Amino acid sequence: MSANAIAAVTAALRNLLSDGVKVEAGLEDTIVTTLPMDRARDASGSGNQLNVFLYQTTPNAAWRNLSMPGQVQSLESGFPPLALNLYYLITAWGRDNDAQSPFSHFLLGRAMSVMHDHPLLGSDEIRLALPGNDAYLQMERIRFSLQPLSVEDIFKLWSGFQTQYRLSASYEASVVLIESARSARTPLPVLMRGTGDTGPVALARLDPGLPTLQSITPPNQQSGAQIGDVVTIAGTLLAGDKVEVVFAHPALQNPIRVPAGQGATATRIDVQLDTAQFAWVAGWYAVTVEITSTPDQPNPPVHSTNALPMALAPTITSPMPLKATIANGAATVKLKCSPDVQPVQRVALLLGDQEIAGARSANATGSLSFPVPQAVAGTYLVRLRVDGVDSLLVDRSVKPPVFRNQKVVFK
């Protein structure tokens, strides 16, 4: 439906009231207008009059995420239409401004009776109300329902137009659908679903039947891996003629692909994070495994597993403890780290329980500097945080775990 659907509904409501009210004896001279409330009744007006004013539009919650009926087929993704509820104020003025008889009461009563007996707009009523509209084509019927207003709402509505209150009734029209100008995604039909077009086959088994990752475990129960560590990837159906572990990071233009070693099995792959062959960055990685059967054939099928997160922690490579001199209450902590911090990465120094954000560098760098505006003399445990991943402060290779010698001394 086009954008003139709102105007078409307003015109159809005006015609409905005009035709329904004038059949009543004594109301044959009634006119129906669609003007703002402050302009609906001029000083010279003295006849019976109804005014239909659209005072509010709100989104329709039920249709907010639905595709336009009849336009989007199954498995296609169309952009939802603009679904609106319209709120109208119907105001009545009587003949001679009710000087001889309360015609406005009579007129409003007849109008509300018409709305009560005719709660749905027919397609022909909408089509004939406004030339060129296509609102009558929508599959959802447009329904009117009485919406009582509180005294406070009435005061706000009329005072906003700086005009005197007149006898009125409010109605909701639901729902008006305006078609989105964005096109739907229409994938090509499927030629065959499996061998012989049999479709999917259900198997009675506990594993999912597809290559699946279950866990990624750094050594020594660490919270994250470090450069040089061997991480263990556990899953099912991970064996193949060619198996690669894919590490994707937002700061890397291309993901890192590490071939599975000789000891890889269908349920376990051990991968070393080696810097000799690959340029790693600290932060969170999305890890998948790609399995290729018959890689020597043209266009071999590649099966990819689900993705699991892995944290690669930065390492402070400067000799410990770090030392910083306090001057005028401030100090600067300088350190070196591995791997280099990329320009797009957020870096911070965790000094005890205080986070000190570092400035972004224009180039990748392993030398960082952190100004500490209110430094206090003492020794503090320190961590480096890159994109939400902290350098490993706890040594879990011993029992019980201990803090590493990762400190800064302020003097």
256 with 333, same domain? Answer: no
173 with 95, same domain? Answer: yes
115 with 143, same domain? Answer: yes
170 with 91, same domain? Answer: yes
Averaged pLDDT for residues 38-56: 90
18 with 156, same domain? Answer: yes
161 with 243, same domain? Answer: no
Counting Cα atoms < 13 Å in the Cβ hemisphere of 331 gives 17
**Six token digits for residue 372:** 């500490």
> Is 204 contained in some domain?
no
306 with 339, same domain? Answer: no
Residue 182, burial from CB neighbour count under 10 angstroms (0-12, 13-18, 19+): exposed
Instruction: Name the percent of the chain lying above pLDDT 70.
Output: 94
Backbone angles phi, psi at 5, to 5 degrees: -65, -35
* Domain edge (last residue) among 128, 162, 178: 178
Backbone angles phi, psi at 10, to 5 degrees: -60, -45
Range of the domain at 387: 315-410
The structure's pTM equals 0.56
The 10s digit of each residue's pLDDT in 23-32 is 999 899 999 9
CA dist 167 to 17, 48, 107, 386, Å? 16, 13, 10, 66
Tally of domains in the chain: 3
CATH assignment at residue 343 = 2.60.40
The 10s digit of each residue's pLDDT in 164-221 is 899 999 999 999 999 887 766 767 676 677 777 777 777 666 666 788 999 999 998 8
76 with 167, same domain? Answer: yes
Closest C-alpha to 26, from 118, 101, 89 = 101
The alpha carbon dihedral of 147, 148, 152, 155 has a sign of positive
Asked if 315 contacts 389 with a C-beta cutoff of 8 angstroms, the reply is no
CA terminus-to-terminus distance, the chain: 73
299 with 331, same domain? Answer: no
* Domain edge (last residue) among 297, 312, 327: 312
380 with 293, same domain? Answer: no
Closest C-alpha to 324, from 359, 360, 365, 370 = 370
22 with 117, same domain? Answer: yes
Q: Residue 313: CB partners within 8 Å, gap ≥ 6?
A: 222, 223, 224, 225, 226, 282, 389, 390, 391, 392
Average of per-residue pLDDT values in the chain: 88
Asked if 161 contacts 38 with a C-beta cutoff of 8 angstroms, the reply is yes
Kindly give the interhelix angle for 103-117 and 5-22, rounded to the nearest 10 degrees.
Answer: 120
pLDDT for residue 181: 79
pLDDT for residue 408: 92
* Domain edge (last residue) among 178, 195, 221: 178
27 with 163, same domain? Answer: yes
